[in-house]
Amino acid sequence: MEHFLDGYRRFGDFSGRATREQFWMFFLFYIVVYIVLSIVDAFIGFPALSGLFALASLIPHLAYGARRLHDTGRSGWWQLIALVPLVGLVLIFFLVQKSEGDNRFGPAPGHVASPSVA
């Protein structure tokens, strides 16, 4: 839940990096909330809640995606590849890759220096 709320706290922050765990936990909570709201919408007969939630979550989702791509050493603009049919599946591959370590977008998130062994 922490990662989901962090997405809204850093609403329009497209800079920095996000780990795989942060991005996918945000995505998981988004899907769960969207499904619950869709069920509620089915009972009331009007898709208002799920539509408003999806619209309110668009920018946080894009920002988290950009930060996740930064973690793999790619620009956030790679998200546009999702608009190309079938080729857009490459984006999933990019989002599940391991962190690159320190790169041009900043230090690795959650990076803890290992103690030196003498």
pLDDT in the model for residue 42? 93
User: pLDDT per residue over 74-100, tens digit each?
Assistant: 999 999 998 998 888 999 899 998 887
112, part of any domain: no
User: pLDDT per residue over 58-77, tens digit each?
Assistant: 999 999 999 999 989 899 99
Model pTM greater than 0.85?
no
106, part of any domain: no
d(CA 19, CA 72): 9
116, part of any domain: no
62, part of any domain: yes
Structural domains counted in the chain? 1
d(CA 42, CA 24): 27
Q: What is the domain extent for residue 56?
A: 2-96
d(CA 54, CA 31): 10
Helices 48-71 and 2-9: angle between axes, nearest 10 degrees: 90
User: pLDDT per residue over 11-56, tens digit each?
Assistant: 888 888 888 888 999 999 999 999 999 999 999 988 899 999 999 9
